[in-house]
A and B are shown apart, each in its own frame.
Chain A
Amino acid sequence: MYDFAYQKPGSLADAVKVLSGDPDAKALAGGQTFIPVLKQRLNKPSTVVDLSKLGLSGITVSGDKIVIGAMTRHAEIASNADIKAKIPGLAHQASLIGDEAVRHRGTMGGSLANNDPAACYPSALLALGGTVKTDRRTIAADDFFQGMFTTALEQGEIITSVELPVPQKSAYEKFRNPASRYAIVGVFVAKFASGVRLAITGAGQGGVFRHTAMEKALSANFSPDAIGGIVTSSDDLNSDIHASSEYRAHLIGVISKRAVAKAA
């Protein structure tokens, strides 16, 4: 690992100032992806800004929404009683990330800001139609993800919380790489009175995406059979040593049906 200066600011304004003033400064949330990246020398920050003292952790229910602080750990999301009751798909999803020790450190905000194409949370945020709150604005999920490892966040912009509407039904189904535990295909489905949203992670070259054909069919009939005949094109899907794009396209159909069956 290259050496760097380390700062742990005590206020959001101070953290934004350091990160905005230096394009080589990087934010550290839980570090479960970032520290391995630093070890591999894939990133050479001048300063690492630890966000753990900004008071960004916690889960609150606010009307028909759940608000999750950006520094809330996966383990807290997986075990939180309100999330289990209101968005069971999200609690289940958090319980499948990494392993026990990783879930004790990794954060929702860190995962969303990184936007790894195989990360789990982007699918929940997108399927739930949530919003990302930052130090300066609110960004809708549909605008937040802008391709692999790319988001709408500006230099120095820090996620403070995530607001998720409570759906009528939700489920997450993940086909894991047996070694890395990352999603080869992960499907989050959410049913609202206004319709169904379904987002897929792990498969797309551009990162997480919504499957509009399935959403349309499920909004008319929320059952696995409704999407049995929908063929997903393998264009724009990832192909690697673990799974070809054709295999991922097939898995999207299978895993989506399982997710709907679990939610229904």
Chain B
Amino acid sequence: MPRVTLTVNGKQHTVEVEGRTLLVEVLREKLALTGTHVGCDTSQCGACVVHIDGISVKSCTQLALQADGANILTIEGVAAADGTLHPMQEMFREHHALQCGFCTPGMVMTAIDLVESHPAGLSEKEIREGLEGNLCRCTGYHNIVKAIAAAHPLMHATAAE
């Protein structure tokens, strides 16, 4: 059986997979990182978004073997080692940007990439367009947009230090 080596949240793993094994299956079933969710399994909902080499990707639409050698960040690796929340997580809490919470890991991962890739600022329209691939079934978008807008200055202030 083929083997794939991934660095997930800073820790290297080598696991056996099939050709058809999806990245999200490795994360959830082999590495027990169940924070990454599978909402639709049809590339629509974005609950499975993780970062591959710093870029947001739907892990249900990616073969594990494609990611061989890659650096992967999941929601479990976002907070600091001492448990201090990432500014994006903190703002999601502050602005009550979740209701049932199912979409939240994917929302946070998409939002972090969106803010990191727009250092000059993000308009509300850009945030809403950036969330196009993440569905919230509670329709809690307003507070999610507020949280992301609030996290932007915090994240770039941290980056500048």
Q: How far is the CB of A16 from chain B (nearest CB, A)?
A: 20
> How many B residues touch the partner, as a band?
20 to 34
On chain A, the residues within 8 Å of B114 by CB distance are 100
Verify if A125 is at the interface (C-beta below 8 Å from B): no
Tell me the residues in window 45-63 of chain A with beta carbons closer than 8 Å to chain B beta carbons: 48, 50, 52
Q: How far is the CB of A178 from chain B (nearest CB, A)?
A: 11
Query: CB-nearest residue of chain B relative to A103?
Result: B133
Instruction: Give A28 to B63 CA distance when docked, in angstroms.
Output: 10
Q: How far is the CB of A264 from chain B (nearest CB, A)?
A: 25
Are B110 and A36 closer than 8 Å at their CB atoms? Answer: no
The answer to whether residues A100 and B66 also contact, given A4-B20, A36-B61, A39-B42 and a CB cut-off of 8 A, is no
Question: Main secondary structure on chain A at its contact with chain B?
Answer: mixed
Instruction: Give A104 to B145 CA distance when docked, in angstroms.
Output: 21
Are A32 and B46 closer than 8 Å at their CB atoms? Answer: no
Are B19 and A98 closer than 8 Å at their CB atoms? Answer: no
Q: How far is the CB of B151 from chain A (nearest CB, A)?
A: 16
Verify if B130 is at the interface (C-beta below 8 Å from A): yes
Q: How far is the CB of A62 from chain B (nearest CB, A)?
A: 27
Are A3 and B20 closer than 8 Å at their CB atoms? Answer: yes
Tell me the residues in window 111-135 of chain B with beta carbons closer than 8 Å to chain A beta carbons: 113-114, 130, 132-134
Which of B18, B19, B41, B68 sits near A39, CB closer than 8 Å? B41
Are A35 and B61 closer than 8 Å at their CB atoms? Answer: yes
Are B20 and A98 closer than 8 Å at their CB atoms? Answer: no
Are B133 and A1 closer than 8 Å at their CB atoms? Answer: no
Instruction: Give A5 to B65 CA distance when docked, in angstroms.
Output: 11
The answer to whether residues A31 and B133 also contact, given A5-B19, A36-B42, A101-B49 and a CB cut-off of 8 A, is no
Verify if A242 is at the interface (C-beta below 8 Å from B): no
Instruction: Give A99 to B110 CA distance when docked, in angstroms.
Output: 11
Instruction: Give A3 to B2 CA distance when docked, in angstroms.
Output: 12
Which of A6, A8, A52, A100 sits near B130, CB closer than 8 Å? A100
Query: CB-nearest residue of chain B relative to A79?
Result: B117
Instruction: Give A251 to B87 CA distance when docked, in angstroms.
Output: 45
Are B62 and A2 closer than 8 Å at their CB atoms? Answer: no
Are A105 and B20 closer than 8 Å at their CB atoms? Answer: no
